[in-house]
Structure 1
Amino acid sequence: MASHLLGIDLGAGSLKATIIGATGVVEGEASHPVTSHVPQFGWSEQDPAEWFEALCAAVPRALAAAGLTGRDITGIGVSAGAHIPVLTDEAGTVLRPAIMWNDQRSAAQAASLHEKAGAQIIGSSLNKVNPTWTLAMLAWLREHEPAVFSRARRLYLAKDYLRYRLTGTWETDYSDAVGALLADDAVKDWSPELAALAGWDLARLPRIVKPTDVVGGVTAAAAARTGLAEGTKVVCGSNDTTVEFFGVGAVEPGIGAVKLATAGVLFLATDGPSVNPPVSCYPHVIEGMFYTATGTNSCASAHRWLRDLMFAQGGFEAMDALAAGVKPGADGLLFHPYLQGERAPYWDPLLRADFIGMTISHSQAHFARALYEGIAFSIRDLLEAARGLGLQFGTIRLIGGGARSAVWRQIIADVTGLTIERTEAADASFGAALLAGIGTGVFNSPREAVAACVRLVDTTMPDPARHAFYSNLFSIYKDAQAALAPLNHRLHALVQSQAAAF
């Protein structure tokens, strides 16, 4: 009998497939890169066709790594970044590249929507509109690409489009409906009023089901491309933040997490919705629970950028080793990680990244240390803003690829002053596999899945002396951000005027 679960997660830089057994042990995994395109400053797009090609490359390699065939898979769960719209015509043809969650083009439309109906949007879909949300993206498309907008007959969120390529079905879960900023929380369904703000017909939205509901089976065509068995059950799944937070065992109110992936995200599990815009609020996998999420745009993406710029030969391992050899504070070198503008807590698409405090004595090692510290300061910025809203954090669990760095874990603990825990598996593909297990009856409930599969591997405690030092440095980081923000705006205006003139 089939006895394994497959989780598939589409990240901003790659698609990952993870196969686990019924006790949560990872039996095999593989990933395949996906490409982001930046047609203009502040824009970010991907080709949905490339997502499925990545799935077709990663899944067979994960099966091979586990020594399994498609017939050994009991169920499949899929996740992807929230907010990302894929528009198709009636035949399922994709009409344009998918606008990514970190795209900032719809700033003007977001401001207009907030001015027109801000209280209504927050009251209905729990969150304040900004360029991150699908509602603002649809408003931009209606204004700037009316031909595409009028031809569209279906809106898929990213994970739903990827799952459609496996099953041929069209649905979503409530967490992604909230993430689209098109939900009515009073009835846990789509809001006709919010959809109307962007001129979007409800007939062009999928039905809403539970993330653990089996929605279909792998089609013959998908089976031929992936090595999966035709008819293998596929659950709806949810967005990456929902499944990865669940996948590190955050099933009780008060548990927090930090995600070190393309973006840096701070989470907190809550009993019922905690609506504190601009901190985001999403439904949890466990009915009745919610979680807050607030994020910085550039985390692992900044890490990757510096690696490619300065450490092409040694890679991440060289960065880690060099950063470990530099004392806290990087001898006065500070980094603000605003390589793609910034979300929380500034919501400013025109912010720019910088290294400040450079002297002739600074080396590659200092830049590596400063990058780790700058992203940790950005996470503390999120933490302080959330605390200002009354949210309380204790122990934090780490999520994402950056959690593997012991140097970075210690820096985050020292900068935030929080105890940092790490689980054996800490990514969205693992959480997606757990959802598949719940939906196919391997586990009786979400809490049973966590009890069976989630295990801690280490704990990192903050050092009081280093925390005190970093608190002083954080105040300089904040003052520098405030001083440089108007200069960032002037630089943007100058570049824009130059583009028009030459």
Structure 2
Amino acid sequence: MLLLGIDVGTSSIKVSVVDGATQQTIAAAQYPESERDIISLQSGWAEQSPEQWWSDVKEAIKKVNQSGKFYTKDIGAIGISYQMHGLVLLDKAGNVLRNSIIWCDSRAVPYGEKAFQEMGEEYCLGRLLNSPGNFTAAKLAWVKEQEPELFEQIDKIMLPGDFIAQRFTGQITTTPSALSEGIFWDFLENQVSQKLMQQFGFSSGIVPNLQPVFSDHGRLTKETADELSLKEGIPVTYKAGDQPNNALSLNVFEPGDVAATAGTSGVIYGVSDELTYDLQSRVNGFAHVNHQPDLTRVGILLCINGTGILNRWIRNLSGNVSYAQLNEMAATVRPGSDGLTILPFGNGAERMLNNKIVDAHLQNIDLNKHTTAHLVRAAQEGIAFAFRYGLDIMRSNGMQPAVIKAGKANMFLSPVFTEAFVNATHVPVELYDCDGSVGAALGAGIGAGYYRQPADAFRKRQPLSVVEPTQAALYDELYGAWKAELEQKLNSDSLILQEA
């Protein structure tokens, strides 16, 4: 069986066609080639068009079909990975009511903080595993108050992957994993939190039908099948947020397994068999793809908003050289970037910094010494140090990774970043040839029953390499200086704190 995987990212759509038997990628495509912009109508806001996502998904599928490497009618199941926490709103006719308020949007923080106080920390942390923060439920509360006429037109709310599946099939479903990432899910009751719905004044009817992550989420309509040269009736058998899906793609299912990714945002994602939470909600727990009422599998997620987006900003300043050229430039500079440091927090409120807006900062610039290459290396080291800062929070909550798995993609393509990451964190990294769309394809195979159990989907996938820490003492010293500069900013009276 051939499996089609779709990854709805912030910057582009990626698709892969995977041979289920060999678990190898036959063909892959990305659309568009250039990175999609984030719509920011006000400072701290971040939106994208769901219809643009759908258009890009179709173009990406048409593009991979043009490879001629497979027979399109042999595709037997579809899996979807998507950017987490986005809010998509449909009316009764299935029309999109507004742009999606996406993951890095900060406007809903005051609504989440107010709910956290009024519902009680014990309830929110013990049952939701999180403060409502600026997650999907709080975003919907913002719409309710700020756009009441539009709110009254809502028939169903969705996460981005639910929307793409709806466009494929005409059916609307969601999953406990999706609702948990929106902070709608009560882990003790194993259902939508009635207390949260009452707190925000939401009707239960706006929540789509619940389905397991691995299940039949609808069948490809004839109209869409004809447009995309696919077989009518192909099931969508898997959909998951990008970070649970990234973990799946790296065979991270069991307690103690840990994955990482460094795309637009940066994430460390570890699996626990306990309903754990951080008292300050700086790291967050969501239902992992294999979580069941009788089998606790919670994904503990550290998210750093300002990661690859900083690397992209540096690239733009550098005259749009390739990312490979940026990595080569970074390698010409010694560790520590000759004293130049960068705090990579310029993409909205950072959860691990208690929802403070720190912004990005360049420190200790020497106009007679520092070059563009120094800027590139300082950015990549600053991102690695942000990972170390967040991992230390995870360690304080009981997560002690012996190894971290990552796809050899995005910033892990840079030897400088990878070296800084393993030495700053003191944790080896296994690098794999995989990405979100490949993971979504393998997830589709699990959901379709092609694989008996999840582990069967990864038996033929081995790491490309293992990168071990070799300069941990040096990077400890560099991290100490970087952390001191961050803490100085965090203690600044001028720093913006998003709160009610």
Pick the TM interval, shorter chain: over 0.9
Distance 1:484 1:326 in 2: 26
Report the Cα offset of residue 487 of structure 1.
5.0
1:192-249: CA deviations, max 9, x gaps? Answer: 2211222111111012111110122111221233222211121141111111101101
Secondary structure in structure 2 of the residue aligned to 1:217: coil
Distance 2:299 2:110 in 1: 28
Alignment CA distance shift 1:321-1:188 (3 Å): same
Distance 1:124 1:227 in 2: 45
Alignment CA distance shift 1:219-1:489 (3 Å): farther
The 8 Å contact of residues 5 and 21 in structure 1, kept in 2 or not, is answered as yes
The answer to whether the aligner puts 1:431 opposite 2:439 as a matched pair is yes
Matching residue's letter, 1:416: T
1:170-193: CA deviations, max 9, x gaps? Answer: 111111110111112123221222
The 8 Å contact of residues 358 and 496 in structure 2, kept in 1 or not, is answered as no
Distance 1:470 1:78 in 2: 38
Matching residue's letter, 2:416: V
Alignment CA distance shift 1:137-1:64 (3 Å): same
The answer to whether the aligner puts 1:332 opposite 2:319 as a matched pair is no
The 8 Å contact of residues 350 and 488 in structure 1, kept in 2 or not, is answered as no
The answer to whether the aligner puts 1:421 opposite 2:430 as a matched pair is yes
Indicate the residue corresponding to 1:18 in structure 2: 16
Matching residue's letter, 1:352: D
Indicate the residue corresponding to 1:496 in structure 2: none
Report the Cα offset of residue 491 of structure 1.
8.4
The 8 Å contact of residues 69 and 227 in structure 1, kept in 2 or not, is answered as no
Report the Cα offset of residue 273 of structure 1.
2.8
Indicate the residue corresponding to 1:315 in structure 2: 322
Indicate the residue corresponding to 1:203 in structure 2: 205
Identify the range of structure 1 (78-87 vs 222-231) with the bigger mean alpha-carbon deviation.
222-231
Distance 2:373 2:406 in 1: 24
Distance 1:49 1:341 in 2: 24
Secondary structure in structure 2 of the residue aligned to 1:231: coil
Indicate the residue corresponding to 1:159 in structure 2: 161
Secondary structure in structure 2 of the residue aligned to 1:216: coil
Indicate the residue corresponding to 2:483 in structure 1: 478
Report the Cα offset of residue 490 of structure 1.
5.7
Secondary structure in structure 2 of the residue aligned to 1:341: coil
Indicate the residue corresponding to 2:348 in structure 1: 341
Secondary structure in structure 2 of the residue aligned to 1:90: coil
Report the Cα offset of residue 488 of structure 1.
8.1
The 8 Å contact of residues 105 and 348 in structure 2, kept in 1 or not, is answered as no
Distance 2:348 2:136 in 1: 18
Once superposed, what is the RMSD of the aligned Cα atoms? Answer: 1.8
Identify the range of structure 1 (145-154 vs 337-346) with the bigger mean alpha-carbon deviation.
337-346
The 8 Å contact of residues 20 and 28 in structure 1, kept in 2 or not, is answered as yes
Report the Cα offset of residue 156 of structure 1.
1.2
Indicate the residue corresponding to 2:86 in structure 1: 84
Indicate the residue corresponding to 1:286 in structure 2: 290
In structure 2, stretches of 5+ residues that fail to align are: none
Identify the range of structure 1 (116-125 vs 81-90) with the bigger mean alpha-carbon deviation.
116-125
1:325-364: CA deviations, max 9, x gaps? Answer: 1110000000001111342420334211011011021001
The answer to whether the aligner puts 1:130 opposite 2:130 as a matched pair is no
Alignment CA distance shift 1:490-1:87 (3 Å): same
Secondary structure in structure 2 of the residue aligned to 1:140: helix
Alignment of 1:269-418 (within 5 A): 269-276=271-278, 277-287=281-291, 288=295, 289-312=297-320, 314-360=321-367, 361-399=369-407, 400-418=409-427
Report the Cα offset of residue 66 of structure 1.
5.5
Secondary structure in structure 1 of the residue aligned to 2:494: helix
The 8 Å contact of residues 16 and 437 in structure 2, kept in 1 or not, is answered as yes
The answer to whether the aligner puts 1:467 opposite 2:466 as a matched pair is no
Report the Cα offset of residue 390 of structure 1.
2.3
Distance 1:122 1:56 in 2: 40
Identify the range of structure 1 (116-125 vs 134-143) with the bigger mean alpha-carbon deviation.
116-125
The 8 Å contact of residues 356 and 495 in structure 2, kept in 1 or not, is answered as no
1:264-315: CA deviations, max 9, x gaps? Answer: 0111121233223332112222242222111110111111111011141x32
Secondary structure in structure 1 of the residue aligned to 2:352: coil
Q: How many residues align?
A: 485
Distance 2:348 2:188 in 1: 34
Alignment CA distance shift 1:470-1:344 (3 Å): farther
Matching residue's letter, 1:296: I
The answer to whether the aligner puts 1:32 opposite 2:31 as a matched pair is yes
The 8 Å contact of residues 156 and 206 in structure 1, kept in 2 or not, is answered as yes
Distance 1:462 1:480 in 2: 24
Secondary structure in structure 2 of the residue aligned to 1:375: helix
Matching residue's letter, 1:286: N
The answer to whether the aligner puts 1:9 opposite 2:7 as a matched pair is yes
Secondary structure in structure 2 of the residue aligned to 1:327: coil
1:377-397: CA deviations, max 9, x gaps? Answer: 000010111112222111011
Indicate the residue corresponding to 1:241 in structure 2: 243
Distance 1:435 1:114 in 2: 34
1:113-172: CA deviations, max 9, x gaps? Answer: 1111133222222222211x1111111111111111111111011100011000011111
1:375-434: CA deviations, max 9, x gaps? Answer: 000000101111122221110112452222223212211221110111121x22111111
Distance 1:226 1:41 in 2: 38
Matching residue's letter, 1:127: N
Alignment CA distance shift 1:266-1:456 (3 Å): same
Alignment CA distance shift 1:36-1:159 (3 Å): same
Indicate the residue corresponding to 2:124 in structure 1: 121
The 8 Å contact of residues 261 and 300 in structure 1, kept in 2 or not, is answered as yes
The 8 Å contact of residues 27 and 65 in structure 1, kept in 2 or not, is answered as no
The 8 Å contact of residues 106 and 349 in structure 2, kept in 1 or not, is answered as no
User: Normalized per residue, which structure has more helix?
Assistant: 1
TM normalised by structure 1 equals 0.93
Alignment CA distance shift 1:66-1:211 (3 Å): farther
Alignment CA distance shift 1:491-1:387 (3 Å): closer
